[in-house]
Structure 1
């Protein structure tokens, strides 16, 4: 499904998503590297930066698509029915980041609690420092506030539009407001992940990104399976 201006964002997304798979395969390979030296750390950091740049590209192109056809982007035709049911303004909810990092940290902490109690540093997400937890918690509070503000802005926009049904000229002007809302939501999504990654070591950042993308891959895979059973495939 293409936007009215001819820009095919769903096709871009399919290509982008395939490339993300390849990048995460590279990240997963690095987790098997037991070397802990300056060279390996630099390689880890480079891979993390590459993945974050890939996400930045996604939101940059999505912003262009939103300017051309905000209603199409808001409806997210590239996503599965399952993904759309979980969406917050055409994408994942930013506060999901914190649920994920706390969950992964807890799972790894419990699996290695004996080593940690012995004073051995694992250096993974189960070994977050008090300082890291504090910074993540502070960011979570800020993100919740921004998320709520954008949600309220969308609610006000919807109320305005509902009062103008049938007034095409005024509706056109109101649709432009949706572009701003989509961009704010995407900016918050990207900034949240960028800041969390900044709080983490390269090794922890790799584990976080792998966990985040595995969740993304899992939800999309399940959604594709369900849609195909119903005779609908968003990849086509």
Structure 2
């Protein structure tokens, strides 16, 4: 059952401040291995058949910039990428999904659910690697919206997290644009590729989700785009 949470400040019998009760809470289900479909894209669990499409899409990133803030890659050969994908993408946590262009049927990028915590209703989105053909598109935003909808509407989680290298300016901008709230930076959190990473944390809570959902739905409406597919109003403008 999805919980209700009265945020009124409370104290215990010793006058100490304590958190609000979370009523009727039960552990949440784990994400299912089923597709999420939208107007412009489909987000579906990774399968080996996606590897060729993904490698082709990533190969358009000639300089390998997409991989700068990933803990792996880039991959120069399709066989090497396919081996990496076979070893990494089929697991349950992280649970990798591919973003498939609804028009062409091609897989153009990946994102995953990870650090899945059913007992506390917390889940993270990460390992986001969108190819040049997917970046800054309606598909990219809709894919994130579909994953949010699964977390909050379908599964009833309380908190959705986004974390990135604090130096990854595009990821930080994307998190803010999508409605995630910056919470702080964990210094010297990770070592990857032989270098330090300070990790910036962002989140959305279930109480924030209804307004964000309404903003996404208004932004994604076809009436918000002209004949060339350009947005008339930015996503943030629908959040007020």
User: Hey, which of these two has a bigger chunk of helix by percent?
Assistant: 1
**Higher gyration radius (CA):** 1
Range class of TM-score, shorter chain: under 0.3
Given the two structures, how large is their TM-score scaled by the length of structure 2? Answer: 0.22
